[in-house]
């Protein structure tokens, strides 16, 4: 199949969160299965200015008619990365700043609407119409709308698959979003694009896509409840009853996240030869200026600092946690209140705790490789990649049983799990982990169980290929009924 994968971010070109890792890895896995998968994303200035990518201009200029009164010029550039063709859509007005959570998640929606319209026009300019178009998160939610409402006969047999990576981010804007694309106000309706008085980009994608999926089986169930549904639980239940909602667990790029070859860690190791993990641990402790004590387990966190990720839970539990024989390092950026609390904790517990307030990808790899345990006490977690990466590096996860964490981490087998979103529940799980660490034979067994688990993309890519075929079959059947 010809698969067009559309995302606002993709590793290694531009990364804010887990979506970028998926966008950088899943299309490559689809190509390994023999599909002609291609990726398209915005041409951020940071990408255009980076000579590593060796961009080639494929279409110097094409016009994107947003509506009868507004046409914008665009350009299309391409490169190939690890065998994957990657296309970039640029324009003078937007994408001029480095991608960040602020520029990607919080600006107005016009640049995302333009990107959706430009994807369709660019593929027509290239004369490459895919068999299926796979769009991701709210930034691309209007692509399924445009395919059904405006794209024309060349796209009539092209189904769309919409993946929800995090239902909490929905993209809510005014009626000018419809006007910008020349769409009628009649689409501002609870069965189409409207939710709670706003044009909701994510709801629009779900309402119009032929298939909707999310990034773990458990999260697909959770978002049908009021607790996790972010006010769209009714729509999620409707999609499930209609057979249009599914969950497919994310994977990780096992070539990138490989302790046997990772250039960002000082000593290489593997499940077959794990001895060097201890040397990475000692090196990390020295780097952090913490005592090198093999008897005291070192736990790590690499995360956005937010309540969703459970960082407030760690702060609340800190007094009791540091009564245990453990040490902890947290690396990340985010909520200023959480950052201040962590800085205060570092001053109070200098022998037990380090806080690195930075986005530092190489350091993150050293944390994964050098820690004994990895904390993910998330309030909710659609899939989670950190626990998979940690296990790949022999670092045992301690997680809350939610979303994809519940699908990947199992008590006493490859990690430790707690249920209640309470500080003492976290403390109890860390205590169980510390007790297991004191038994080297038991800890080694748990560690190796995680290291030998298959968290690669190939199995999930096969499920996506089946999802694409099902979406195509559904569209063909629907057309036959209306013919």
Q: Which residue positions form the known binding site for ADP-alpha-D-glucose?
A: 15
- Annotated binding residues: 15
Q: Provide DSSP, 126-183.
A: HT---SEEEEETGGGTHHHHHHHHTS-GGGTT--EEEEES-TT---EE-THHHHHTT-
Cis-peptide, bond into residue 12, ω within 30° of zero: yes
Span between the terminal Cα atoms of the chain, in Å: 25
Which residue reads 């944390």 in tokens?
Answer: 367
321: number of CA atoms within 13 Å, CB side?
26
Are 171 and 138 contacting, i.e. CB atoms less than 8 angstroms apart?
A: yes
User: How many Å apart are CA 135 and CA 160, to the nearest integer?
Assistant: 7
Q: Provide DSSP, 301-336.
A: EES-BSTTTTHHHHHHHHHHHTTSS-EEEEE--B-H
- Strand (E) or helix (H) holding 36: strand 36-42
Helices (H), 33-175: 45-48, 101-105, 110-126, 142-149
Which residue reads 């895919």 in tokens?
Answer: 130
User: How many Å apart are CA 181 and CA 151, to the nearest integer?
Assistant: 12
Contacting residues for 152 by C-beta, under 8 A, at least 6 apart? none
Length of the chain: 483
* Share of the chain residues as helix, strand and coil, in percent rounded to the nearest 5: 40, 20, 40
Q: Provide DSSP, 17-30.
A: SHHHHHHHHHHHHH
User: How many Å apart are CA 301 and CA 310, to the nearest integer?
Assistant: 11
Angle, CA of 323, 328 and 331, to the nearest 5°: 145
User: How many Å apart are CA 56 and CA 59, to the nearest integer?
Assistant: 9
User: How many Å apart are CA 469 and CA 361, to the nearest integer?
Assistant: 37
Contacting residues for 440 by C-beta, under 8 A, at least 6 apart? none
Classify residue 442 as left (phi > 0), alpha (psi -120 to 50) or beta.
alpha
Angle, CA of 427, 293 and 351, to the nearest 5°: 60
């Amino acid at each position: 199949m010809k698969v067009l994968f559309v995302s606002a971010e993709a590793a290694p070109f531009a990364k804010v969160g887990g979506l970028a890792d998926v966008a950088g890895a899943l299309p490559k896995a689809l190509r390994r299965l023999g599909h002609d998968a291609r990726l398209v994303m915005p041409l951020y200035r940071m990408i255009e200015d980076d000579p590593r990518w060796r961009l080639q201009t494929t279409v110097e200029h094409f016009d994107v008619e947003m509506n009868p009164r507004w046409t914008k010029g665009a350009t299309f550039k391409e490169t190939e990365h690890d065998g994957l063709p990657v296309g970039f859509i640029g324009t003078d007005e937007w994408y001029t700043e480095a991608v960040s959570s602020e520029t990607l998640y919080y600006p107005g929606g016009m640049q995302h609407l333009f990107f959706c319209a430009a994807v369709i026009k660019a593929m027509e300019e290239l004369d490459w119409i895919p068999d299926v178009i796979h769009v991701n998160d709210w930034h691309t939610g209007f692509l399924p709308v445009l395919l059904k409402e405006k794209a024309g006969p060349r796209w009539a047999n092209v189904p769309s698959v919409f993946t929800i990576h995090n239902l909490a981010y929905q993209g809510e804007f005014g009626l000018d979003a419809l006007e910008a694309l020349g769409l009628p106000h009649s689409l501002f309706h609870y069965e189409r694009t409207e939710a709670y008085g706003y044009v909701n980009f994510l709801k629009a994608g779900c309402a119009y896509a032929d298939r909707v999926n999310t990034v773990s089986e458990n999260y697909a169930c959770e978002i049908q409840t009021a607790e996790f549904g972010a006010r769209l639980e009714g729509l999620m239940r409707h999609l499930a009853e209609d057979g249009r909602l599914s969950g497919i667990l994310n994977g990780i790029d096992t070539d990138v996240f490989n302790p046997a070859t990772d250039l960002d860690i000082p000593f290489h190791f593997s499940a077959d030869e794990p001895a060097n993990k201890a040397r990475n641990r000692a090196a990390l402790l020295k780097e952090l200026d913490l005592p090198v004590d093999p008897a005291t387990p070192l736990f790590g966190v690499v995360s956005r600092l937010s309540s969703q990720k459970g960082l407030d839970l760690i702060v609340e539990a800190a007094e009791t946690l540091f009564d245990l024989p453990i040490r902890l390092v947290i690396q990340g950026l985010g909520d200023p209140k959480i950052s201040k609390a962590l800085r205060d904790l570092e001053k109070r517990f200098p022998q037990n705790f380090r806080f690195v307030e930075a986005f530092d990808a190489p350091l993150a790899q050293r944390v994964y490789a050098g820690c004994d345990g990895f904390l993910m006490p998330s309030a909710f977690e659609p899939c989670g990649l950190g626990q998979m990466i940690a296990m790949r590096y022999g670092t045992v996860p301690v997680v809350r049983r939610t979303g994809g964490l519940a699908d990947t981490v199992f008590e006493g087998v490859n990690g430790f799990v707690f249920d209640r979103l309470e500080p003492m529940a976290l403390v109890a799980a860390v205590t169980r982990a510390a007790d297991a660490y004191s038994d080297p034979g038991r800890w080694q067994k748990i560690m190796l169980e995680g290291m030998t688990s298959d968290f690669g993309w190939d199995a999930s890519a096969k499920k996506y290929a089946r999802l694409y075929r099902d979406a195509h079959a559904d569209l063909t059947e629907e057309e036959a009924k209306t013919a």
